[in-house]
Amino acid sequence: MSKVKQLKITFLGTGTSTGVPMITSTHPVSLSDNPKDKRLRSSIMISWDETTYIIDSGPDFRQQMIRENVQAIEGILFTHEHSDHIAGFDDIRPFSFRMGEVPIYLTERVLHALEKRYDYIFATENRYPGAAKVKTNIISKHSTLNFKGVKVVPVEVMHGNLPVLGFRFNNFAYLTDIKTISLEEKTKLSNLDTIVVTGLRKEEHSTHFNIEEALEFIKELNPKKAYLTHISELLGFHDEVEKELPENVHLAYDGLSIISE
């Protein structure tokens, strides 16, 4: 049997759309001095051998790439078009200067949203010479990708009424901005080593898992371990919430790196 590759997952950001601290907030978590309570917008980096993929390029992308000293990437996969997941797209330029076209993987709908907001990047005539260059790869929930020996399967989840892609890389899965999932898509999540899933806050939310829904979902899928992300200040202090979680479930925090199969 061939050995399953070890994937290194780095949490670039673990905050909800506003980030934590939130502008104007006087909530105690937003005022916390604990670095684990400071959360940039949600994104992860998945690396193995000399290969690195990023999921989403939110508004904190530049800061995240500099903090993690990322020198090269093989591509960016997009979950959906909300600003907290794409608003740093223009900051892929330095990668484009070094490597030319940056491969992006996204659904047709998310591509149209990017084309609207970043028309100059997708322009074919009179292009501004400094604009980023991308190589577009349209994917859907029916795609199966192979990234240098790692099988990548998009998993569609529902973010209220909006379909969003999560991604399974071998036995690791990342599902952000999830409220519900169909039975069919759930079958793609069997035998996971590690899952990362949204655990927004304690109270219910119309388009995101709260912590109770996240824990129920994790229990049902029964991965070896799980991490919660896309976290609001309303969830509470990192160190306190962490103590209340089941043994194999943790709160992610910015800069955390884990190994998964």
- Contact residues toward Zn ion (CB under 5 A) are 82, 84, 177
State the nearest-atom distance from the C-beta of 213 to Zn ion, in Å. 16
State the nearest-atom distance from the C-beta of 85 to Zn ion, in Å. 6
User: How far apart are the C-alpha atoms of 123 and 65, rounded to whole Å?
Assistant: 26
Residue 60 neighbours by CB under 8 Å, 6+ apart = 12, 13, 19, 40, 41, 43, 88
Closest to Zn ion by CB, 150 vs 235, is: 235
State the nearest-atom distance from the C-beta of 239 to Zn ion, in Å. 24
Closest to Zn ion by CB, 99 vs 162, is: 162
State the nearest-atom distance from the C-beta of 113 to Zn ion, in Å. 12
Closest to Zn ion by CB, 150 vs 155, is: 155
Closest to Zn ion by CB, 82 vs 179, is: 82
Q: Which residue is nearest to Zn ion (CB)?
A: 82
